[in-house]
A = this chain, B = another copy of it.
Amino acid sequence: MRKPQPGVPSSASAGMVARRFAPLVKLSPADLALLDGTASRLVHYPSRTELLREGEDLRPLLLVEGWACRQRVFPDGRRQVMSFYLPGDLIGSVLDRRAQRSPSSLFTLTPVIAADASALRKALVDDQETHAGLAQACRLSETFDEMCLLNHVVRLGRQTAYERMAHLLLEICDRLDQVGLVSNRSFTMPMTQEILADALGLSIVHVNRTLQQLRRDGLIELKGPAVVLKDDAALADIADYRPLRTLI
């Protein structure tokens, strides 16, 4: 059990989504009301538990607080983390009514507060005219998700451990920044080095050594789950990182 992370304010829940997309698309009062309604039905999940098993039907969720990840586990125990879910993220498509069988399991990294987004999905599918703005925002969200998945492929396929780590740190900072969880290039990353290893396709030992190297090189600072990117220009150069904003 881990206590709720410091630095993750339990903000006016769905304000997250509004915050993410307000600068990008125009959300109508109806959109904002819909988001508020969605955020009224909150569910709590404990840390380190499976939200959803592989193959189960994926009901859409809006992640309000805490972190989760999508993972696949091999019969022999190897694990691959395929993506991270951060506050403000949508889990499962809200633009498609069809039941979706998840090809991977969902796993919480911290205690999680999420909203059932079934009603949101229903509203977006049924009243497309009313919620054009919000639908647009959700499409944008899915585009970001895909971009992150592509980034992940690049990291795993063609980058060294050092580059992978720099790249992932930049991406997470980028995403957290969109929901106001970064100040002074500093943020909370509530996961063990084991999770990091399973995301980056490395061994725990090597993750540890890589982090130390980044620290020694003066590029990052670590205090428990707190990360500071001390030279994000250098990191971006090392990792050939392209900000998510460049998509729009």
Contacts and interface: CB of A to CB of B under 8 A. Distances in A.
Interface of A: 55, 70, 72, 74-75, 78-82, 96, 98, 100-101, 103-104, 136, 139, 143, 146-147, 149-150, 152-154, 156-158, 198-201, 240, 242, 246-248
B80 A158 contact: yes
A149 B153 contact: yes
Contact of A98 (B136, B154, B199, B242): B136
Given A103-B150, A146-B146, 15 more contacts: A70-B150, A72-B154, A74-B240, A79-B158, A82-B154, A100-B143, A101-B246, A101-B247, A103-B147, A103-B247, A149-B149, A149-B153, A156-B201, A157-B198, A158-B198
A138 to B, nearest CB: 10
A201 B156 CA distance: 8
Nearest to A237: B75
Contacts of A139: 96, 98
Contact of A158 (B78, B104, B158): B78
Nearest to A199: B157
Nearest to A71: B154
A81 to B, nearest CB: 8
A74 B157 CA distance: 12
B82 A153 contact: yes
A149 B228 CA distance: 31
A55 to B, nearest CB: 7
Contact of A104 (B143, B150, B198, B246): B150
Given A96-B139, A158-B79, A150 B72 contact: yes
